[in-house]
Chain A
Amino acid sequence: MACELGADEEACEVRRILIALTYLVFIVLLIIPLFKIGTGAWQEGLDGLIHAITRPEAVHALIMTAWIVVVVTVLNTIFGVMLAMYLVRGTWMGSRLKQFLNSIVDLPFAVSPVIGGLMIVLILGPSTTIGAFFESIGFKIVYAFPGMVLATLFVTFPLMVREVMPVLQEVGTQQEEAASTLGAYGWTTFWKVTWPLIRFGVIYGVVLTIARSLGEFGAVLVVSGNVMNKTQTATTLVYQDVENFNVVSANGVALVLAVFSVLLLLFMEWAKRRRGVH
């Protein structure tokens, strides 16, 4: 499609304009803003950046985010893969039920994160029966770590299921049936036959879950109460810094988050390419 000699003049013109416009959109909407986070964090030099990240509240927030990412990713992976297996392979539930469950998997995509957080406060908040019961036995859910994990689990729920289900549907059951016929038990079949087939789907699901739980803001903000050094995560700290007109500090923390997101994106691209090769 390159514009060689003798090629259609008009088509070449259109092509040039469209490519230029595409570059313009990317540069204005994505590249310059990303750059700005970098330069913004350096506004007060390296010392300013180091201070922004090593403030006690920033360290606490980053550790909090790391814990949420770890717990949510582990739980979401286990339950997501199992649910995907049941929804594709489970013969024990009727097709009607399967269809119904399948259609509600996506619901968290349609729910605003703020509403996701509100739901958890409404059901498990201190003024509800369940919340009061747990509080009386000394287990705080809302405005504490468990609630934040629940909120993040809610928003990340569809990611793993939706990555693994199409892969399972595509590979079919032949190989697994062959393994069972040859006498392999449930677990062995899973690890030796199913796992290698769905591996890349699970990896994508994990990357998406990490990215989403790292960046979750609305749901966590509502559930956590955003108490500094207690229930503050990296994203809610960025929000608070901006509200307090402390933009340089906000940039420092945002830069850490942005670097992680870009790394995840690169890893995803690498995994996709590897899958293409094999």
Chain B
Amino acid sequence: MNGILRHKGWSWGFRSTVMLYFIVLIALPIIGVYTKSFSLGWSAFADSVSDPLAWKSILLTLKLSLIATAINILIGTMIAWVLNRYKFIGRTFLNSLVDLPFALPTAVGGLMILLLLGPNSWVGNIAAQLGLQIVFHEPAIVIAMVFVTFPFVIRAIQPLLEELDKSEEEAAYLLGASKFHVFRRVILPSILPGVLSGAMLAFSRALAEFGAVVLVAGNIPGKTLIASVYIFGEVESDNPQGAAAVSILLLSLSFLILWLVNWVQMRRHAK
């Protein structure tokens, strides 16, 4: 058995199979989308992209993803801090629970939000009496985005907080620095790379989110229709070229963010 496996041809075969799999599965489809969106020429591409509904869906996605990311930066930083620095009942439990949105199917996440805030729930009723509309409106989309991107910022900051040298903090206190000052001058600079890369990952995930949002958004064109749902609609109505055109705008943006995250992390390792 070993004799056969040692044969040069085998390892060559393995290598080619793995490389072929890699290229066919990952590289080819991405090239495919880019070529398809230009398949009918530049003007067709410009037409698809400048369709007001397409534009609105992209702008809406950007706006809501930014809001969701900002919320995640705030609560994520706070939660990472509390989970790492304070000892209290239920800490380990909460820490394991952080990953739940990653483990849960996004469609289930969307359904959960729908049940929690929907027209027949008590939160939905109270909000309706106050004149607030949550489900099938923008707030629900933001909540869905916050839900699916919840672990990113927390998990990016935690290792940095663990690494952080306590003696630096203590030295600052001894020198008479106030709590706020210590946080701003000592703690914040060391966790900032984590906040940034976590936030960018959360942002790109929010841009791409489909499952959780499609169930709670109502998907009204021009109002609550986000880009990924727009793309889905174009595929359903048999317009793959239009779907591809909007896709490459979204894709290029996500690739840029991914590249930025890698760059930030590389710089950190270089230090």
Contact = CB atoms under 8 A, between A and B. Distances in A.
Interface in B20-54: 21-22, 25-30, 32-33, 36
B73 to A, nearest CB: 13
Interface stretch (B155-163, B185-193, B249-257): B249-257
Nearest to B28: A123
B179 interface: yes
A26 B112 CA distance: 14
A115 to B, nearest CB: 5
Interface stretch (A49-57, A171-179, A193-201, A253-261): A253-261
A104 interface: yes
B232 A221 contact: yes
A62 to B, nearest CB: 13
A110 B255 contact: yes
B128 interface: no
A112 B250 contact: yes
Interface in A27-46: 29-34, 36-37, 40
Interface string A226-239: 00000000111011
B220 interface: no
Contacts of B141: none
B22 A83 contact: yes
A218 B228 contact: yes
A26 B94 contact: yes
Contact of A188 (B2, B22, B102, B207): B2
Contacts of A214: 105
B82 A114 contact: no
Contact of A25 (B28, B75, B121): B75
A103 B257 CA distance: 13
Contacts of A22: 78-79, 82-83, 94
A275 B111 CA distance: 35
Contacts of B86: 1, 15, 18-19
B130 to A, nearest CB: 17
A120 interface: yes
A112 B235 contact: no
Given A34-B112, A37-B111, A211-B102, A118 B243 contact: yes
Question: What secondary structure prevails in chain B residues at the interface with A?
Answer: helix
Given A82-B18, A221-B232, A112 B240 contact: no
B258 A258 contact: no
A107 B26 contact: yes
A184 to B, nearest CB: 9
Contacts of B127: none
Contact of A217 (B99, B105, B229): B105
Interface string B79-112: 1011101111010001011011111111111011
A115 B21 CA distance: 20
A102 to B, nearest CB: 10
Interface string B209-237: 11100110000000000011101100100
Contact of B33 (A122, A187, A222): A122
B87 A1 contact: yes
A37 B113 CA distance: 10
Contact of B105 (A15, A29, A117, A257): A257
Given A185-B5, A251-B111, A217 B211 contact: yes
A82 B232 CA distance: 34
Interface string A141-184: 00000000010011001000000000000000000000000000
Interface in A92-107: 92, 101, 103-107
Nearest to A79: B21
Top 8 nearest A-B pairs (CB, nearest first) are A215-B105, A119-B29, A112-B208, A33-B112, A218-B210, A110-B254, A217-B211, A261-B103
16 contacts: A15-B86, A23-B90, A30-B101, A110-B204, A110-B254, A110-B255, A111-B30, A112-B209, A121-B240, A122-B29, A122-B33, A187-B1, A188-B2, A218-B210, A235-B107, A239-B215
